[in-house]
With several copies, the nearest count.
Chain A
Amino acid sequence: MSGLVDENTKVIVQGITGHQGKFHSGEMVKFGTKVVGGTSPGKKGQSVNGIPIFETVADTMSVKPNATMISVAAPYVRDAAFEAIDAGIKLIYILTEHVPFHDTMEILYEAKRKDIVMLGPNGPGITRPGYAKIGIMPNHIFKKGDVAVASRSGTLTYEIVGSLTNAGFGESTVIGLGGDPVVGLTYIDVLKLFQEDKDTKNIVLVGEIGGNNEELAAAYIKKNITKKVVAYITGRSAPPGKRMGHAGAIVEHGTGTAESKIKAFNESGVSVAEYPVDIPKLLR
């Protein structure tokens, strides 16, 4: 996972004086993340949680960030992400929910054009116990270990991480891909990283209805992943055509169902837990 987050990760928070930016920048610092700066127009020279505030991302270049957490309101995400891309920041994590997917597509392809990794939007970020956390996952649920978790959800991920930690496991990396129909990193992207990561022995994929990324992940696992993988899929009971909280969690024209995803994992030899709490059992 050193490609994404490691001891050299230096994070800025775009929108650091907002409600989320203020709280979570503090939590990240407590977790041990190097939060080197933040932006908030009109507040340069001030600080939040001991973190210096800058006017623009260009100005933060003086503290040499290589990652950013974007926590601005949805209408301003495109601008903030373009600012980070233009400044050459190599990992862009977007916390914000309700970003129009047309904006996300643009950000994603501009980022790809410049070899920049985009994570999110609308996900809890990435946590690597012992190294750093970028995002909003609660610090107390983690213990360093060998399980890597990738998920499209926030709280459900904490539930699962909590149950892993309680059951005596620990986590190498936990990554929330985001609940939108278009997100930056996908399961396959992170599966590659998990397979290469020396700290990871087990992999947990948490999927949900909508799209076919779980199906693609299942096919990828069968071909490329030698580590143990278990999965959990949520949304079995969702009525078709309804968005279940996440913009991406929707069964449309019979595609994106939980059944299809569970079937795909089973066919790839990945055990699928019936309840989140069953995940630790499947890993034993």
Chain B
Amino acid sequence: MNLYEYLGKDIFRQNGIPVPDGYLVEKPEDVRKYIKPVVVKSQILLGGRGKSGGIKFARSDDELKNGVRELLGSEIRGLKVTKLLVEDMIDIKKEMYVSISLNRTERKPMLMATTEGGVEIESLPHEKIFLRLIDPLMGYSDYIGREASSFMNLSPEISSQFRSIVSNLYKIFVKYDCELAEINPLVVTGSGSLIAADAKVVIDSDSLFRHKEFNVVDPEKTKLELEAQSKGYSFVEMDGHIGVIANGAGLTMATLDALTLHKGKPRNFLDLGGTDSVDIVVTAFDLVLKANPKAILVNIFGGVTKCDTVANGIVEAKKKFNIKQHIVVRLSGIHEVEGRQILKDNGIDAFSDMMSAIETVVKLGSGSQ
């Protein structure tokens, strides 16, 4: 889960990483009296906010109020701005970059740092970036920061601040179960202090049970995705029109792929999971129906899940929600014959092989209704 900048900065502040003083604005009344130059920053989870007009500079009370008025409620690249961070302007002498992230390939935390901050790290030539894996059992220790400082040619004064920041950033990475803890830019001010001008903190959603402090709504999930999550489903909204229910993440993805290769456009990803229960099927239909698909494809390989249970769930859902859309079902595995019979008896297309189901639903979903 990607945290808003202001939450990331709260974490930084609490863990010894210097950040500018600032406050959150959610409604015009939240704006405080202008005292000194500030930056008004839209709290949206997009790179390049500044270029998209999401950041305003204010050197007077009027500019501050105007900036807030312009940004609050505006829309930036499709995202509505509901929160602003008003922060002291900092005197930027230089912009650097530092992050700790999970390196999936090596299965270790990785430190990345460069003196060329303020741009996307991916855009920089490889040789400008200090890149170092960290042994997860040994963790971070000062020598790693010294290696980085040496690579980056930092002066002793900057190096000692930098190493303290990296050390705290690694502590944050571990303490808050981060996938990423990034400071870009890490600013060197005119007076030679280091300060985190931005904060990107991505938390492992699987760790939230031990981080009640982040009991916040994931800002990158749609309303329907959040509802599905609260009910225990993996659900992803997509932009097509064929609703999909399958069991297992891999099989569900394979179903979406097969649909796409057949020029069918899936409306969603929904994984039933491995549980064998009629109710779970019924609720899955409830969710998919809320996405208004033109047709619904159910693709089940019965391993632990039994095909007749799923069939009963489909029949119950059809009655309960009075489903008008075509439902195309593929059932294979345990109790598949019984399952298909239940469906046939209730007027639902049922196949044993996946490809026939795919072809049929694509035809029905793109056609009349």
Contacts and interface: CB of A to CB of B under 8 A. Distances in A.
Interface of A: 23, 41-42, 44, 55-59, 74-76, 78-80, 82-83, 85-86, 98-102, 105-106, 108-110, 113, 136-138, 140-141, 151-159, 162, 179, 181-182, 206, 208-213, 216, 232, 234-239, 241-249, 253, 258, 274-277
B146 A74 contact: no
Interface in B94-143: 102, 104-105, 107-109, 122, 135-138, 141-143
Task: Pick the 9 closest A-B CB pairs, nearest first.
Answer: A153-B250, A155-B248, A245-B249, A156-B250, A138-B303, A83-B143, A100-B207, A237-B260, A245-B234
Contacts of B143: 56-57, 79-80, 82-83, 86
B192 interface: no
The DSSP consensus for interface residues of chain B is mixed
Contacts of B271: 245
B158 interface: no
Interface in B228-250: 234, 236, 238, 246-250
A83 B248 contact: no
Contact of A249 (B206, B249, B303): B249
Given A101-B204, A181-B102, A244-B253, A153 B108 contact: no
Q: Which of A140, A159, A258, A276 has the most CB of B within 10 A?
A: A159
Contacts of A76: 142
B323 interface: no
Q: Which of B179, B238, B254, B271 has the most CB of A within 10 A?
A: B254
A58 B132 CA distance: 12
B141 A109 contact: no
Contacts of B138: 82, 85-86, 110
B102 A75 contact: no
Nearest to B207: A100
B259 A102 contact: no
Given A75-B210, A138-B303, A141-B303, A109 B137 contact: yes
A21 to B, nearest CB: 13
B288 interface: no
B254 A276 contact: yes
B137 A159 contact: no
Contacts of B35: none
Given A82-B138, A82-B141, A244-B252, A102 B207 contact: yes
Contact of B104 (A182, A238, A258): A182
Contact of A153 (B156, B251, B259): B251
Q: Which of B204, B250, B333, B354 has the most CB of A within 10 A?
A: B250
27 contacts: A41-B146, A56-B150, A75-B210, A79-B143, A82-B141, A100-B177, A100-B204, A101-B204, A105-B136, A108-B107, A154-B274, A155-B248, A156-B254, A212-B105, A235-B257, A236-B257, A237-B256, A237-B260, A239-B238, A244-B253, A245-B269, A245-B271, A246-B250, A247-B204, A247-B206, A248-B104, A275-B355
Contact of B150 (A55, A162, A245): A55
Q: Which of A58, A102, A182 has the most CB of B within 10 A?
A: A102
Interface residues of B, number: 60
A152 B147 contact: no
B6 to A, nearest CB: 21
B254 A159 contact: yes
Interface of B: 102, 104-105, 107-109, 122, 135-138, 141-143, 146-147, 150, 156, 174, 177, 179, 204-207, 209-210, 220, 234, 236, 238, 246-254, 256-261, 266, 269, 271, 274, 301-304, 332-334, 353-355
A56 B147 contact: yes
B171 to A, nearest CB: 13
A100 B206 contact: yes
Contacts of B122: 253
Nearest to B122: A253
Contacts of A211: 104-105
Contacts of A162: 301, 332-333
B250 A105 contact: no
A88 B137 CA distance: 15
Contacts of A249: 249, 253
Nearest to A156: B250
A274 B261 CA distance: 9
Given A238-B256, A246-B249, A138 B236 contact: no
B274 A234 contact: no
A60 to B, nearest CB: 12
Given A82-B143, A253-B122, A277-B354, A237 B257 contact: yes
B238 A234 contact: no
A73 to B, nearest CB: 9
A107 to B, nearest CB: 10
